[in-house]
Structure 1
Amino acid sequence: MMYYEMTGFMPKHPDGQERPDIRFPDHSNAWLLLDFDGSLVEIADRPDGVDVPDRVQALLDRAQERLDGRVALVSGRSVESLEHFLPGFRGSIVGTHGAELRIDGTRSRAVEWDEATVSRLQRVVADFAALRPEFLVEPKPSGVVLHYRQAEELGALALHFMEALSQAAEGFRLQPALMAYEIKPEGVGKDAGIKRLLGDDRHVPIYAGDDLTDEPALGLVRERGGVSIKIGQCETVAEHRLAGPSQLLDHLERWLG
């Protein structure tokens, strides 16, 4: 059994069967919120190795037009990283799991964090990972990620190290992800970021995500009577399930026309 399956990623439906009977709201009454890695684009071995198909930018452009700008990316990536991969995207961004926001082109912090602590965490994780070249360290504006995708058998080692480190860092907590562990500020989450973005907006939210970090957002959207879509086979609170990014793009393209 893979370690990520032992820590919350075991498929709930062993056959991986899709539940694609998605009924989207009318365009005039919809807010589209989309995760990036694993949802709009395929997961890459390295965060900087993602390939963004042309159809992704075309779809986002079409969504901006049809939904009168009610389109947002909601990602664990920083706002800067998303701007790099999608330089033509003009919608809102909930970045770094909700720690950062970009609304109407203006970046802001959704929460405050201690810069010195973040720097220390990044140095310590980098030193630890240098002992095992299979690990990959991803610094973020408000924290740090340790990836073990290249060596799944090291998942337990990564967990023990990152858990101990997060407990020593006041104001920070551990966030499990798909074959990775992240230390991030307390009070940060994609659900909280979406709440800050939408406020009292009564449009019907649509959210698609693939990771454990997307589950709170999927739950929030479902509570609001929206459309929740899980990408992949892992256990989820979402109402609908699609196999991968291509299937999500197919459904959204048909809906947007």
Structure 2
Amino acid sequence: MALPPYPHARRTALFLDFDGTLVDIVARPDAVALTEATRDALATVARHVDGALAIVTGRDIATIDAFVAPLRFPIAGVHGFTRRDVVGRVQMPQLDGDLLDKLKDGLRLLCSENEGLLLEEKAGSVALHFRARPELEDVCIATMERIVDGAGGFRVSRGKMVVEARPKDANKGAAVTAFMREAPFLGRVPLFAGDDVTDEDAFDAVNAAGGISIKVGDGLTAASYRAPTTAAFVAWLVDYAQHLEGEGS
């Protein structure tokens, strides 16, 4: 599988994952940085698609805003649990805050006993990163599963050197589908790019809509196209932006 031909800007809606897709995954989630070339490409593509470009991520909306500033996009955060539309309206289902706090307390204890583990606390979910302690992967997963087992409304999802407790109804595919019912995405062909297993729901939704799905990196996938690395996808995005500027459409 290779990267797709450049899609027609006036007919396409772009949905992009963040970590591993627009930026490399690093040891500490707060240490990532969007390059100026990537930022410029996002701004250019968003302009040519009339604003039909959204970030669909496991991160909080506010965190992505800080990384992409001064740009501002529609965003689905926490794997689709929260969603901000093109006019700035934020949708976030009600969540049992006490239950989420109990999840966080149990994981904080594990982190305090094991240097190098990193707990990422978000609005609606909590992620345990073990990139600095890969030998603790089984312990992290087992602990997360045990804690979540008694917490109705949450499920465990695994990613690249991370395990996360997130709401059962958090789904990137559902977020993409919701965006596609609204302007400026309505009536366009969806394109989704992502690198992790949590992006497979979005690939399924985009494929069902006759769209373009791009897997970034290796691994089994439902996506129709593939970029071998984050750098390869970013290079494609930058080239696409230059192509749009050159043809003026």
Q: 2 CA distance for matches of 1:215 and 1:141?
A: 22
CA displacement at 1:252 relative to structure 2: 2.1
Contact persistence 1:39–1:245 (CA under 8 A): yes
Cα drift, residue 249 of structure 1 = 2.0
C-alpha distance in 1, partners of 2:97/2:205?
30
Q: 1:21 to 1:210 in 2, by over 3 A?
A: closer
1:208 is displaced (CA, Å) by 0.6
Alignment deviations for residues 130-152 of structure 1 (CA, whole Å, 9 cap, x no partner): 11112111001102111111121
Change (3 A) 1:111 1:203: same
1:212 equivalent to 2:190? Answer no
Q: Give 1:106 deviation, angstroms.
A: 2.2
8 Å Cα contact 1:148-1:154 kept in structure 2: yes
CA distance in 1, matches of 2:85, 2:192: 18
Per the alignment, residue 247 of structure 2 pairs with none
Q: Tell me whether 1:55 sits opposite 2:40 in the alignment.
A: no
Specify the alignment match of 1:233 in structure 2.
218
Is the partner of 2:120 in helix, strand or coil?
strand
Residue of structure 2 aligned with 1:80, choices 38, 56, 62? 62
Correspondence for 2:208 among 216, 219, 223:
223
| Runs of 5+ consecutive residues of structure 2 not aligned to the other structure | 244-249
Give, as a single letter, the amino acid of the residue that structure 1 aligns with 2:218: Q
Letter in 2 for 1:218: F
My pick for the range that moved more, 102-111 or 33-42, is 102-111
TM score, norm. by length of structure 1: 0.89
Aligned partner of 1:14 in structure 2 is none
TM-score by length of 2: 0.91
- Residues 206 and 226, structure 1, Cα contact 8 Å, conserved in 2: yes
CA distance in 1, matches of 2:87, 2:23: 23
Q: Which amino acid aligns with 2:131?
A: R
Q: Secondary structure of 2:55's partner?
A: strand
Spell out structure 1 runs of 4+ moving beyond 3 A: none
The count of aligned residue pairs is 239
Say which of 61, 64, 85 aligns to 1:103.
Answer: 85
Query: Could you report, residue by residue, the CA deviation over 1:110-130 in whole angstroms, capped at 9, with x for unpaired residues?
Result: 422111111221122111211
1:252 aligned to which of 233, 237, 247: 237
Matched residues in 1 for 2:135 and 2:89: separation?
39
Whole-angstrom CA distance in 2 between matches of 1:21 and 1:161:
38
Residues 6-25 of structure 1 mapped to structure 2, 5 A cutoff: 19-25=1-7
Q: Partners of 1:238 and 1:220 in 2: how far apart? A: 10
Q: Aligned residue for 2:140?
A: 158
Q: Quick check: 1:171 aligned with 2:156?
A: no
| 1:20-66 residue CA offsets vs partner (Å, 9 max, x unmatched) | 24123311100011000000011111010102110121011101111
Task: Tell me the amino acid that sits aligned with residue 147 of structure 2.
Answer: L
- Aligned identity (percent) is 30
Contact 1:98/1:110, CA 8 A, preserved across alignment: no
Q: Could you tell me whether the CA contact under 8 Å between 1:78 and 1:141 is conserved in 2? A: yes
Per-residue CA deviations over 1:156-197 (Å, capped at 9, x if unaligned) read: 111111011111111111111111111111111111111222
1-side partners of 2:3 and 2:217: how far apart? 15
Aligned pair in 2 of structure 1 residues 202, 104: CA closer, same or farther (>3 Å)? Answer: closer
- Aligned counterpart, 2:181: 199
Check 1:21–1:197 CA distance in 2 against 1; reply closer, same or farther (3 A cut): closer
The answer for unaligned runs of 5 or more in structure 1 is 1-18
